[in-house]
Structure 1
Amino acid sequence: MAADAELAILPGTGRFDPEEERWRDQVAALYAALREEAGTVLLRGAPEPGRKGDIDTVVLALGSSGALTAAVTCFRAWLARDKTRTLTVTWADEAGDQRTIQVSGDNIDQASFQALTEGVPSRLGEGG
């Protein structure tokens, strides 16, 4: 499936060590829900200046505004399960500029994902 928009996803937590198995299981559950409901979840390596090797980035490939809506629903549900969770989502806007939002489990509201839901549909050719 060729996607018109891609979201880089970085889950975080204030509760667990990033290498702890319980945390990795929670992140895997998020990716599984996204894969089932929203689109293709990919792991991409990207070089980081000053470091040897690539940094792995998880990317959600979207093909429609319906997939975006499903992704936001998954994000909200996952964040709501633990107030210490955070989610950083990055995408390229219509001009190719990088846009980023960060939402935490303790501050989810209607406007939390507004920049994402307004900016990405134009990349999908469906207007926002």
Structure 2
Amino acid sequence: MTHRKILIITTNHSSYPGADAVGQARMGYDANTYIIRVPDPVMFPEDFYLNAFDKGIGGIIIMSSGSDCPYEGAYERLSKRVARVYEQMKAKGIAANRLKLTTICTVCRAAFLKEISEMQKAVASV
């Protein structure tokens, strides 16, 4: 069975080290998962997400630092941006469960894997 691609956007200071901890512990996840490491996910405009879906990405997980973000106001801006993306997804008939904003810390291995597993289920019907 072929799985749709899952894009994970991680932060340099929290969620990427969490993903790295999963790898160092030799805890695996599906090969259809692609990780982008950025200073903070707030840098992506709304149309990035919609274009990704248009180009065949099955699901997107935005793993932010939440309120621990070192960039002032970034998480609040990101939350508002994602809310607007959800509205645009609804208008285009894209299921909301294909995009998730979550907080993952540097040692959150189980949570990291859980998010991927849940997204695998969400995109299975796409």
Give me the TM-score of the superposition, normalised by structure 1.
0.28
Larger Rg: 1
Give me the TM-score of the superposition, normalised by structure 2.
0.29
More helix by share: 2
More strand by share: 1
